[in-house]
Structure 1
């Protein structure tokens, strides 16, 4: 029986006009009979062997059902020369004759050479098409156009002008998500709480689903496009085209390009840069801030850190002289804990009251929190930069001493000196890198100002309420909005504001 193989991908159909129907029609004409079996790969790339039509054809040839195979040209078999040769050899090995509509294939040295040349040219052409498409997309992005519709919540895609326009209804939901996440409220806590709130209020997702998931909320909070700048050319998807036909272990992963290769385009702004930056700060803390609640609620849950061992401090109930007390401790008893902790503990009643009194004072004197933020930021950065600069100078001086020893004749081993020089060079490189990071942070005044403005806005929300009516949840929410971390030392407790 005769089998006709037809394949076309979307771009090829538009470019060459060799539709599936046309290939089948020409194949039947070449076969001289309508008694044929059709093997169709519609919309599948020729870069891969894993195509349903081709896979079935190979099986039927192997089983002896098909003795003659007709297709338009070698490109329909595959786009890569190696794959073309594999398929051709497999068909002939199983006794099937291969016939091309666009030209005869002679099993002679000359015919095989011509066949190989056509395959090589086809593979080159495919590579050039991919390169032209990639270059075209990059150039389109550089001109300030949105390359494709990524179905970003809050926007509609204007295909004619290649740009995003605001979807007013969705944009209000985006603003609500950022408000609920960055401001104290009694509506929803954390990303999971926001997702539940949107679901309960029958707000549909971008694709019209009725249920919101935590990760969808997180993706919205992470999306820089809402500030008016959309990054494009972020992801390298080379080789991913055939993933739907590959097994899980063979799938090609999507890779993030270096940030210097990203191309930004302007889109309508939905969220201010200040609010976005504040949300990013809180996202970094959200995992421990909104962890699973314990049986007993703790006011400072997820905020405390021991200054000695660096462990977070969690709440627990312990027994002291036959009496149950609640305390925070840095001891980690879970299997696989990197650091067991130094054993520091502090009574909840003691630290809870102290922290709340400080925060409460800040609430009644907003200028104090601004001063605290600036003092924390400035003093920490200045001290750390000074310390690193001193270490760099000490390292340089140590290198000079070692080099001087190397040039003297004191009988010191050459290899020993070389090892020490390498260690000093590595340390100097690490310190220099650390210094550059600190200086960059120190120069980032805009982000600091943004955080301070948002903090003032958050505190203003609570200044309108009666402090005596604040519940436990109210207090915990305020503390979490104000404090990024609370460091517990031997004799000192330091509140680190956002």
Structure 2
């Protein structure tokens, strides 16, 4: 059966105005019949060999479902010469005739040479388009023209391709700076408090979100645009487009300061206030420490056994007295996972954990037995759970790929399915890293004396201090030598994972 393959990338749609429909019409006319198999990739770069419709085409070719493939032009198959030749070779081995609307390429040495030349020219044209686009953008930037709307709170892009102030939004920006820099304000130097305050007032973010994240507030405070200095040509995104379409991350490399260009725009706050905000941001961590915090024995080690969130120390009051707990709750603005709310008394958890650790350091043989049990149960169980999640992600991706291959494009939101496939791939990659890490830990614990060394370091430390009157910092040092994580399942069930 005859088949047609068409492709349009986002870049080409913008530059040439070409369309999928016009290619289909031309290919069907060339085929001389409307009874054809159609394969269409819309919004995919010609540099990629992995494309949903092209993958289906190659699979159907291997199954013998296709007798002739009609394509508008060689660069629709690929912008890369090597990829064109790979596809051409696969088709010829199955006896499939490859025909192009623009040109007649005979299966001869001369035809193959011409086909190769066309591929090389297509790749060259792609490179030239990129070069011209990049050069043109840079020339506009040098003239003070803003290339892309940055969607900054307080500004909008005007017809002259520069930014002008939106006064209503600018008031919000000024309020953020005022609250952050005013010593009389109860939000002084508290980014998280400002974010919560804006959320409570019901002020939307630039994107219309109802919840302000502390990082959004911090980015506003750090952005030099608000003092009238908008930076362009700040990031090197070479290869980002292809990487994202292949399911990878966006590539954003920060350029050196000398390569960037600063465009003058109207300022929302004064230079002096912006610079003072930077000074406060730089000092914020040190200032927080100056206020003093309660010393938690197990700081950074406690995790919720129900939802997996880290549990942090909180101060509570009862009958006018302060007491402390470890709590699975994130109270900062915009937290994606607020936690399940599980809590446990700090004193109780300290007694349980220190009691177990003291038994370890005073009975090394019990420690060895515990390590053997831990290897056989806790890590093995975690490995099994991760493996199940990996299999779920794999099956989910396969179902979505099958859905794309079996469905008509009009019946399916292809872009939404692509997004889901990419998210599942990211999840699978993350789980694979975790899986490999735990496997490595198991092997290392079997083949090395890492646990014994941790115990030895703890014992050495114990011998160097007064063992009968250990201070909190002494206990904390010994625990950190031995403990990796502490999982609170419930008030009576505590799992201690050791190094």
| TM bin (shorter chain) | 0.5 to 0.7
Distance 1:21 1:139 in 2: 35
Moved more, 33-42 or 63-72: 63-72
Distance 1:72 1:176 in 2: 57
- Give the alignment of 1:71-150 within 5 angstroms: 71-150=71-150
- Give the alignment of 1:261-276 within 5 angstroms: 261-276=259-274
- Give the alignment of 1:12-31 within 5 angstroms: 12-31=12-31
Equivalent in the alignment of 2:243: 243
Question: Structure 2 length as normaliser, TM-score?
Answer: 0.57
* Structure 1 unaligned blocks of 5 or more: 298-316, 318-325, 337-498
Contact 1:188-1:197 at 8 Å conserved across structures = no
The 1:256–1:14 alpha-carbon spacing in structure 2 relative to 1, beyond 3 Å, is closer
The 1:292–1:40 alpha-carbon spacing in structure 2 relative to 1, beyond 3 Å, is farther
Tell me the secondary structure at the aligned position of residue 102 of structure 1: coil
Out of 268, 279, 282, the residue aligned to residue 280 of structure 2 is 282
Q: CA deviation at 1:89?
A: 1.9
Q: Deviations over 1:301-328 (max 9, x none)?
A: xxxxxxxxxxxxxxxx9xxxxxxxx999
Equivalent in the alignment of 2:388: none
Equivalent in the alignment of 2:151: 151
Contact 2:67-2:96 at 8 Å conserved across structures = yes
Contact 2:67-2:95 at 8 Å conserved across structures = yes
Tell me the secondary structure at the aligned position of residue 58 of structure 1: helix
Tell me the secondary structure at the aligned position of residue 208 of structure 2: coil
Distance 2:217 2:125 in 1: 43
RMSD of aligned residue pairs (Cα, Å) = 3.0
Question: Structure 1 length as normaliser, TM-score?
Answer: 0.57
Equivalent in the alignment of 2:197: 197
Equivalent in the alignment of 2:306: none
Contact 2:240-2:251 at 8 Å conserved across structures = yes
The 1:181–1:115 alpha-carbon spacing in structure 2 relative to 1, beyond 3 Å, is same
Contact 2:7-2:76 at 8 Å conserved across structures = yes
Q: CA deviation at 1:224?
A: 0.9
Contact 1:195-1:213 at 8 Å conserved across structures = yes
Tell me the secondary structure at the aligned position of residue 37 of structure 2: strand
Tell me the secondary structure at the aligned position of residue 70 of structure 1: strand
Out of 255, 258, 279, the residue aligned to residue 257 of structure 1 is 255
Moved more, 286-295 or 269-278: 286-295
The 1:334–1:241 alpha-carbon spacing in structure 2 relative to 1, beyond 3 Å, is farther
Contact 2:81-2:116 at 8 Å conserved across structures = yes
Equivalent in the alignment of 2:165: 166
- Give the alignment of 1:377-388 within 5 angstroms: none
Distance 1:274 1:334 in 2: 47
Larger Rg: 1
Q: Deviations over 1:407-442 (max 9, x none)?
A: xxxxxxxxxxxxxxxxxxxxxxxxxxxxxxxxxxxx
Q: CA deviation at 1:11?
A: 4.1
Q: Deviations over 1:68-112 (max 9, x none)?
A: 221111111111212222222233334432211101122211111
The 1:277–1:22 alpha-carbon spacing in structure 2 relative to 1, beyond 3 Å, is same
Contact 2:4-2:69 at 8 Å conserved across structures = yes
Q: Deviations over 1:277-334 (max 9, x none)?
A: 122222223345457998759xxxxxxxxxxxxxxxxxxx9xxxxxxxx9999x9778
Q: CA deviation at 1:17?
A: 4.5
Contact 2:44-2:245 at 8 Å conserved across structures = no
Equivalent in the alignment of 1:54: 54
Q: Deviations over 1:341-371 (max 9, x none)?
A: xxxxxxxxxxxxxxxxxxxxxxxxxxxxxxx
Contact 2:8-2:76 at 8 Å conserved across structures = yes
Contact 1:50-1:245 at 8 Å conserved across structures = no
